[in-house]
Amino acid sequence: MTRFSTRCRRALAAGTALALVTAAAQAQAPTQGAAPAPATGQTVDQNRLLKADKEEGNWLLHHKNFGAHRYSTLAQINRDTVKNLKVAWTMHLGGIEGGGIWSHGGLEGTPIVENGMMYVTDGWGSVYKIDTRNGAGKLLWKMDPKTDREWAGAVACCGVNNRGVALWGNQVISHTLDGRLIATDKETGQVAWQRQVADPDKGETITGAPLVVHDMAVSGVGGAEYGIRGWIAATDLKSQKEIWRTHTIPGKGEPGIETWKGPNNAEVSGGGSTWVTGSYDPDTDLIIWGVGNPGPDWDNTYRPGDNLYTDSTVALDAKTGAIKWHFQHTPNDPYDYDSVSENLLVDAGGKKMALEADRNGFAYAVDRTNGQFLWATPFVKKVTWTRGINPDTGKPFEYDPTKDVQRYNPAVTPHPENKVADVCPGNMGGKNWPPTAYHPGTGLWYIPVIESCNRITHETMTTASLKPREFFTGGGPTQPFRITGSVTAIDVNTGKVAAKLETPFPLLGGMLATPDLVFTGEPDGRVMALDAKTLAKMWEFNTGGGVNAPPMTFTVDGKQYLAILVGLGGAWDKWFIDSTPELKSIQAGSMLYVFAL
């Protein structure tokens, strides 16, 4: 009776036909007694996550492993067999509704798979559990967090996005755009608990997947276009209480506050968001995370100084959140060159490295034990804002530490005397959030590239411009130039570009590496497999949607599958579409594609 009424309540609360179907499916489950029990009861703990790569057929962590390799050893789909790869099954998901300033949601998530059970999210944060056994997809439950679309959608700069879940214990851990951290029972789909981590009243939203380390969920925040003061926060999954919250902009009396000068108290609204899931280095017990742009984006005169820790990689003590080291890429940034990208953790040439492909067009390697600069390499075809990165200092050649406001190449920099500036890369960067992948056998690191320039119009900000829940950007971009893309492979041993495959559209989805092949997708709908060494195209399939999410791979019933979410949303089709006119015909959609031989 209790079971029945619980299910009824749940079905009613969800209020959708889908929930009713789900409840019915669950009610029927016991009658399938003959079927082997799914091994989904296995709990997820730190020990298992540390060895995530040993579970060859599973994909337990957002970036596959703590080092963000996105490399799978699965090789049934290989150079010889990939020509036979075809759609195995598909599933329509939801979440395309609009809200706030957004006309529709999109899909940016990486599916998580454990023992044949897949967990994916849509842009509004609904979590779907899908049974992938027996060559078909079967929806077991959907957890709809009932995200407050107007509250969150009005302060989401760049789309209705959610990049996926994490697993811990017997729960699925996820975020919502309106700033919640939610734990859902893996078996029943019922919400176990939730807590508000970010505050949309301050312009804060969450789009990234949580990183689970030491029984904590680590959350990052978006909102540097709305005058937030960024942070990274850790929630104890056992007590559901916050353990630490480290601001990415120092407070009064803290180290780094001297990099915020001038009369505007610019540090209180200095941006520094953290909206891409970071990495974790068990050897040093450091969480390595990227920090976004300073605010206002394009008026660096408002915020004299280097503006730490914006546009930086920071390494936090996992136990306390204390900042152990940092490396800043673009001091006093006037271009919106976030450094939010995930850091790839690899050992090469006797160095323990953290690598990041920055929005500013350069790939950086630093020593991940201390943040010391190792090398930087341009991975885009065109860079105009600087002559290059000084190999001795790791700073742009034009960077002048005696100056509070940097102009870099003044002709392409938006500032009060240069109100319209054409700059390369454009403000979506050489690489945005879509993740890189790494091949440990060859040392190649695959970057999904946006080959771009755009036009920035500068607007001088004052403290009166700073208003709750309103854009605080100091200008804005327009798109008079065509934007294309590439997959660019860098050899981590040499720091040199080893291969480049140019693509007609910017790569908005991200990479997956396997022994023979790398996989990616384009926003015009094509999913493709490339030769891991030469990047020659080996296979292609047009999904008929817009790819805005990374592929992943897993096995179930002994067979390898490739999965990718398809649904163009995000920032592109609202703010950048003029640079890719053909993409105007891509329809809003929400679909999971699963391929097999």
Partner 1 sequence: MLKVTLPALAVGLISAVAAAQQPPRPDPGLAVYKKANCVGCHKWHGGGGGGYGGDALSLRHTQLTREQIIETVNCGRPGTGMPFHLRGAYDATKCYDSLRAEMGAQMPPEGTAFLRQSEVEAVATYVAESLKGKGEPTLADCTAFFGDTSRACDLYRKETRDGTPAPQQTTH
Q: Would you please indicate which residues are annotated as catalytic (active-site) residues? A: 336
Tell me which long-range contacts 3-7 makes (C-beta under 8 A, separation of at least 24). Answer: 6/190
Q: Is 336 annotated as belonging to a binding site? A: yes
CA gap 340, 273 in Å, rounded: 8
Cβ 296 to partner 1 shortest distance, Å = 9
Cβ 384 to partner 1 shortest distance, Å = 21
CA gap 312, 474 in Å, rounded: 21
Beta strands in 122-240 (DSSP E): 127-131, 138-143, 166-168, 171-175, 180-185, 191-196, 211-213, 216-220, 231-236
Residue 573's SS3 state is helix
> CB neighbours (10 Å) of residue 440?
17
Residue 128: phi and psi, rounded to 5, are -115, 130
Cβ 478 to partner 1 shortest distance, Å = 6
Q: Is 536 annotated as belonging to a binding site? A: no
Cβ 8 to partner 1 shortest distance, Å = 24
User: What residue has token string 């679309």?
Assistant: 149
Which pair of tokens denotes residue 275?
């909206």
Kindly state the DSSP code that residue 338 receives in the 8-state scheme: -
Q: Is 225 annotated as belonging to a binding site? A: yes
Kindly state the DSSP code that residue 161 receives in the 8-state scheme: -
- Contact assessment for residue 527 and residue 564, using Cβ atoms and an 8 Å cutoff: yes
Cβ 105 to partner 1 shortest distance, Å = 14
In the complex with partner 1, which residue's Cβ is closer, 78 or 103?
Answer: 103
Residues at the contact surface with partner 1, assessed by CB under 8 A:
98, 100-103, 148-151, 154, 157-158, 178, 200-201, 225, 457, 459, 464-465, 467-471, 473-478, 571, 574-575
- Burial 152-161, CB ≥16 within 10 A → b, else e: bbbbbbbbbb
Q: Is 163 annotated as belonging to a binding site? A: yes
In the complex with partner 1, which residue's Cβ is closer, 147 or 386?
Answer: 147
Q: Is 207 annotated as belonging to a binding site? A: yes
In the complex with partner 1, which residue's Cβ is closer, 158 or 354?
Answer: 158
Which pair of tokens denotes residue 211?
């990183």
In the complex with partner 1, which residue's Cβ is closer, 188 or 457?
Answer: 457
In the complex with partner 1, which residue's Cβ is closer, 265 or 320?
Answer: 265
CA gap 98, 100 in Å, rounded: 7
In the complex with partner 1, which residue's Cβ is closer, 152 or 562?
Answer: 152
CA nearest to 172, candidates 310, 300, 43, 264: 43
CA distances from 158 to 178, 249, 415 (A): 14, 22, 24
User: What residue has token string 């706030």?
Assistant: 100
Give 554's strand partners.
Answer: 561
CA gap 200, 487 in Å, rounded: 35
Give 219's strand partners.
Answer: 233
CA gap 212, 589 in Å, rounded: 30
State CA 226 to chain mean position distance: 19
In the complex with partner 1, which residue's Cβ is closer, 476 or 523?
Answer: 476
User: What residue has token string 């271009």?
Assistant: 335
In the complex with partner 1, which residue's Cβ is closer, 68 or 456?
Answer: 456
In the complex with partner 1, which residue's Cβ is closer, 102 or 275?
Answer: 102
CA nearest to 510, candidates 84, 92, 75, 64: 64
Give 529's strand partners.
Answer: 519, 539
Which pair of tokens denotes residue 110?
């990486």
CA gap 85, 4 in Å, rounded: 43
Q: Is 223 annotated as belonging to a binding site? A: yes
Burial of 408: CB neighbours in 10 Å, binned 0-12, 13-18, 19+: buried
Q: How many CA atoms lie within 13 A of 499 on its CB side?
A: 17
In the complex with partner 1, which residue's Cβ is closer, 335 or 595?
Answer: 335
Helix pair 2-14, 17-28: axis angle to 10 deg: 160
CA nearest to 147, candidates 198, 217, 223: 198
- Residue-wise DSSP of 466-490: --TTS---SEEEE--S--EEEEEEE
Annotated binding site: 108, 163, 207, 223-225, 293, 336, 432-433
Binding-site residue positions for Ca(2+): 225, 293, 336
Known binding residues for pyrroloquinoline quinone: 108, 163, 207, 223-224, 432-433
